[in-house]
Amino acid sequence: MEYKSHESTDWQMAIISFTCRPTSGTHPTLLLLFRSPMMHARDIVAAIEIAVYIPAAILAVIICVRHGFNRSSGWIYMLILCIVRIAGAVCQFLSRQDHSNGLIEAKIIIDSIGLSPLLLATLGLLSRFVDFINAKASPTFTTKHFRVLQLLIIVGLILGIAGGTSGTVQPDGTVKVATTSKAGIALYIVAYVGIVLVYLVSVPRASVIPDQERRVPVAIIFALPFVLVRLIYSACSVFLHSHLFNIVTGNVAVRVAMAVIEEFIVVAIYIALGFLVTKLDANAQGPIAGREWKNKKTRGERRLRRHSMGALEQQRM
């Protein structure tokens, strides 16, 4: 058997050709296509994600036990993100053997899901920050404002999932992104802008909140730029027809620089914050952070909760 290796000009593919000499005297050539180092790089990234997110998930569980599993608190979404990313890494390893459309759809959906926990976690922490401000000053933002932002993110998530199931893979390997995916990213962008506006309007009044609670706006301002870069990467993936941002076969270095690292940093910031701030009792939790889709509290109960937050704040100061 003669073995010959030919380098391909395409970075995505290499060709191994070897010639077998059977007894019949024929010389058939078998071409084997295999994934290039780019594919191996994706496996390495997936392994790193598993190594990072499994311990992060354990820490997130500890924080959720400490602060509660309330969806509006923010930390529950860090746990969800860890689980989603672990599942995405598993899908990457499975794609080595399974190239079905179903697995590709799963990867697209998981990629779109990753943004919503980041935005919802940021929104949850921002609601805690604004609640403490509202306990001391005239409210600028209310539960209704946060419900609108939350609704935008959730609808964006639903559209992203729907778009992942309706996207198609072209013969050249590119992914044709569904219109619903584009609409979902657009809603994420609107929600992010809303979060930034709420933060910018609220942060000048941060002096009225307890010293320990001032760590919350600091963590948010450090996380927002990384969330923005992550959002830009997803927007480029769905709006630009560029190989660099292809969800399935895109450039690994770009993905790591604009998505993977950003998520690592935001998760680290928010998990660290969970250990640095105190647990809020049910009576001390403000109406925004404790918001429900259906407001079942009476005005008297809401007023009592607000006074409880004010009393707690005075004790801390």
The CA angle 61-64-70, to the nearest 5 degrees, is 135
Q: 193-229: per-residue pLDDT in tens?
A: 999 999 999 999 999 998 889 999 999 999 999 999 9
SS3 19: strand
Domain edges within the chain: 2-32, 36-316
Q: 133-189: per-residue pLDDT in tens?
A: 998 888 889 999 999 999 999 999 999 888 877 766 565 556 677 889 899 999 999
Average pLDDT for 89-99 = 79
Q: 13-31: per-residue pLDDT in tens?
A: 333 333 333 444 433 332 2
Residue 251's contacts (CB-CB under 8 Å, 6 or more residues apart) are 38, 243, 244, 245
Homologous superfamily (CATH) of 36-316 is: Rhodopsin 7-helix transmembrane proteins (1.20.1070.10)
Cα–Cα dist 256/259, whole Å: 6
Q: Is 101 exposed, middle or buried (0-12, 13-18, 19+ CB in 10 A)?
A: exposed
Helix and strand element counts for the chain (H, E)? 10, 5
Encoding tokens for residue 240?
A: 């630009």
pLDDT for residue 108 is more than 90: no
